[in-house]
Structure 1
């Protein structure tokens, strides 16, 4: 599997600061399970791993500590926090309540050009899945789903889902990638777009339900 880290991710809507880009890359590594619960990491160690300087990594880790994703450990660094199975079930339930009906409603309201603009992102997810590049997969997946939700015109809803995703963990990604099964999950993003462009709200709802079900299967304790 490709273990080289990709270029730091882009954030939608504006040019992010370097600190924000580092924080997004670290969040992706947490969600993908590359940084495991209970592990303690130092800013210099993560800086070397990501090929960046230590200062923005330290600042980004402080941001992640405020979000509850890591805890500070005096004189050692930062410990990755754990997420319980009950929490994962609750995150999935809330996401399904928000994302499934919101995305399905776009079948009748979204501009086809706006939907087509997300196709390269969906294809990027598939490319990352085939390459086994988990951090790139998580980053592109985030841009895709938040991009869809933005089309509904409710920024507060977007931020709620962003926060839920930040708190999740996808420990099963590594196994799926090694088994060659991650591509099938990635291709569901293209299915969602095709159903939306076909104005088939029932199909969108069905694919979203299946897709989020697969996601919960990955949100599991190590």
Structure 2
């Protein structure tokens, strides 16, 4: 079937060229963090470009970005190899996200106005509706919008930028497809908003930490379930060393 200029060969909307490498890096990062790409797996430029319906150039640029982040390393035949992802890596990522998120939420509490409270409540209401409908994309969008609004209210643009960058390491679709997470997220966000209304800094920290601790444990359980750590980390490290030699 022929495609329009706005569509790729797989029928999905084409992305602007300036966004391609960032979008590909985001997709590959999510594949690694969700276990779709496992430690030691080879990532070939041509195959990845075909799967994502892009040219080789943004795939190469994205893999170089991920190489700098420690997710992949150069391998054979113009490809890359996924590096080891340990349980400690996952916990470290969410620990750091939690620390930054607590600071942003507490700062936001000091600037919260009735319109700001209303905006946060609308995002929670949209999240609840999306969870009830099991609309995966709407769940992800509503949850992201809540935290974007909260970070904006904090009036700390650089810290909010770091928070955004760190959010890329969470495989959001894994959470959005988990109905139990959706129900938990709605209740947790409601409790966080209640703490924000009262400017209760201790409870704001508690509720924020609960959100990220739960996210970390769900991801660890998922990676265990799909068998990312079936083999010892030492064996995986040996495989990576052999692949890159």
Asked if TM exceeds 0.5, the reply is yes
CA separation of 1:156/1:8 partners in 2, compared to 1, >3 Å: closer, same or farther? Answer: farther
Q: TM-score, normalised by structure 1?
A: 0.68
Equivalent of residue 61 in structure 1, options 33, 40, 63: 63
Q: Which residue of 2 aligns with 1:25?
A: 27
Deviation at 1:19, TM superposition (A): 2.2
Distance 2:83 2:128 in 1: 26
| Gaps in structure 2 of 5+ consecutive residues | 1-9, 229-245
2:134 counterpart residue number: 130
Distance in 2 between residues matched to 1:173 and 1:120, nearest whole Å: 20
- TM score, norm. by length of structure 2: 0.62
* Paired residues for 1:71-110 under 5 Å: 71-75=73-77, 77-110=79-112
Aligned-residue Cα RMSD (Å) equals 4.3
Q: CA deviation at 1:217?
A: 0.3
Is 190-199 or 39-48 further displaced after alignment? 190-199
Following superposition, the deviation at residue 144 of structure 1 comes to 4.8
Contact 1:110 1:151 in 2 (8 A): yes
Counterpart-to-counterpart distance in 2, 1:38 and 1:140: 35
Distance (whole Å) between structure 1 residues aligned to residue 166 and residue 152 of structure 2: 16
- Cα 1:156–1:21 change in 2 (3 A) is same
| Matching residue of 2:216 | 216
Equivalent residue, structure 2, for 1:183: 182
Quote the residue 2:44 is aligned against: 42
Q: 2:234: which partner in 1?
A: none
Shift in Å at residue 183 of structure 1? Answer: 1.8
State the Cα distance separating 1:131 from its structure 2 match.
4.7
Offset of 1:111 from its aligned partner?
4.5
How far the C-alpha of 1:200 sits from its partner, in A, is 4.8
* Residue 121 of structure 1: how far off its partner (Å): 8.8
Secondary structure (helix, strand or coil) at the match of 1:205 reads helix
Pairs aligned (count): 210
Equivalent residue number for residue 3 of structure 2: none
String of CA shifts for 1:73-96, please: whole Å, max 9, x gaps: 121512222222223333333333
Is the contact between residue 38 and residue 79 of structure 1 (CA under 8 Å) also seen in structure 2?
Answer: yes
Q: CA offset at residue 42 of structure 1?
A: 1.3
CA contact (8 A) 2:45 2:78 kept: no
Larger Rg: 2
Worse overlay, 118-127 or 95-104 = 118-127
